[in-house]
Structure 1
Amino acid sequence: MIKVGVTGGIGSGKTTLCKEWEQMGAYILYADDLAKKLMNENDELRSKIIKVFGEQSYDASGNLDRSYLAGQAFEKGRVEELNELVHPVLWENTKLIEEEKKREGVKVFVKEAAILLNNGRPKDLDYVVLLLADEENRIDRTKDRDRTSEKQIRNRISKQPDFNELIHLADFVITNDGTLKELKNKSQQLFKKIIEQT
């Protein structure tokens, strides 16, 4: 099984690339989606979040209050605190899913995460793909997608690493400053290249 990490800043095109690869037969693990699922369903993690961030972290129905938690993390400078709670559980579950997919005979396993290179290059990956895009393009895309303000997006970007400084950790770099069609073509070509190399 080929293991690939896909990373890049908010609005850089990670999801578009992954959706293309999914159609070409890859299994994609979206770290953000899995983290949200675990924050809702993992009792131990829920308890820790409530202890650190308060009862307001979950609504009356017991569902994660994402806007409250995002406000705590990004606007109050508590991203690291939240990551310290979520990441160990996230990577433990990722490992289990990875093993399950290997048993199922999946050929390409992709881990999509903005935080992929935060502690250097993960040793278990065969390839790392980094998506880069001009900051203004990223802001415009994210505004359209998330219906959030430019200020909120800039705040989130400021909390992410400068991905231009992480190029040396990647095997492939895709610059996504063109059209959606161009990104899809680049994604398809890269997937074929990775398959051919192994």
Structure 2
Amino acid sequence: MVVVGITGGIGSGKTTIANYIKSFGIPLYVADKEAKALMNRSKVIKRKLIQLFGDKAYVDGKLNRPFLAKMIFNDKSLLNQMNAIVHPKVASHFKRWLKKQDAPYILKEAAIIFENNLQSNYDYIITVVADENLRIERILDRDDTTQEKIKAIINNQWTDSQKKELSDFVISNNDLDQAKKQALQIHTKLLKITAE
């Protein structure tokens, strides 16, 4: 099974593009969504996160996301420790999911493929890029957050030019109609590659 990663900085529109490609019948695995679900569902993860962050990590049995976000916001070591707990579980969940798929290729959406040096886990990588001002605008419209917080996240991620260098395909998403055209061309190419 050909595994295609789709990535991009916060607010680039990678989820919108991933869902567009999914509409062609391509199975989509969203790593962040599955990580959040596992953080609520897995007893092992819960226990380890409470050991790491204390009892405030969960409220009424549910992940206390604002608390965790505040804790890891300026502490890379805590972020890395949390990722070391969550990422292996997501990886094994993905492997099980992958075995059940039947399609020319699958799409795995993940925000930090390059930052975590995981590019070797993919056959091809699509990076979605957009102007930083537009990305900030999109996130402010979508989330209850501040420009300062968004900039801190952007500064923690690789730049678009760094990602482009290691990507097989790049979609520019300043204009959604144009981005969808690019996505369709890439989908068509991937179908040709996987048919060979």
Q: TM-score, normalising length from structure 2?
A: 0.91
Structure 2 counterparts to residues 73-152 of structure 1, below 5 A? 73-77=72-76, 78-101=78-101, 105-120=102-117, 122-152=119-149
> Partner residue of 1:72?
71
What is the CA deviation profile of residues 7-56 of structure 1, one whole-angstrom value per residue up to 9, with x for unaligned ones? 11101110111111111011110000000011000110110000001111
Distance 1:168 1:121 in 2: 15
- Of residues 165, 169, 191, the one that matches 1:195 is 191
Q: 2:63 aligns to what SS in structure 1?
A: coil
Percent identity, aligned pairs only? 36
4+ residue runs of structure 1 moved beyond 6 angstroms?
A: none
Counterpart residue identity of residue 52, structure 1: L
CA contact (8 A) 1:28 1:110 kept: yes
> Partner residue of 1:157?
154
CA contact (8 A) 1:131 1:173 kept: yes
Distance 2:181 2:143 in 1: 24
Distance 1:31 1:124 in 2: 13
Counterpart residue identity of residue 132, structure 1: V
Give the RMSD, CA atoms, in angstroms.
Answer: 1.6
CA contact (8 A) 2:124 2:168 kept: yes
Distance 1:35 1:197 in 2: 30
CA offset at residue 197 of structure 1? 2.5
Query: Any stretches of 5+ residues in structure 2 without a counterpart?
Result: none
CA offset at residue 121 of structure 1? 5.0
Q: TM-score, normalising length from structure 1?
A: 0.90
Counterpart residue identity of residue 99, structure 1: K
> Partner residue of 1:173?
170
Counterpart residue identity of residue 104, structure 2: K
CA offset at residue 136 of structure 1? 1.1
1:35 aligns with 2:35: yes
CA contact (8 A) 2:5 2:109 kept: yes
CA offset at residue 176 of structure 1? 1.8
CA offset at residue 96 of structure 1? 1.3
CA contact (8 A) 2:27 2:103 kept: yes
What is the CA deviation profile of residues 96-149 of structure 1, one whole-angstrom value per residue up to 9, with x for unaligned ones? 111122xxx233211100121234353342211111222111111111111321
Distance 2:79 2:125 in 1: 24
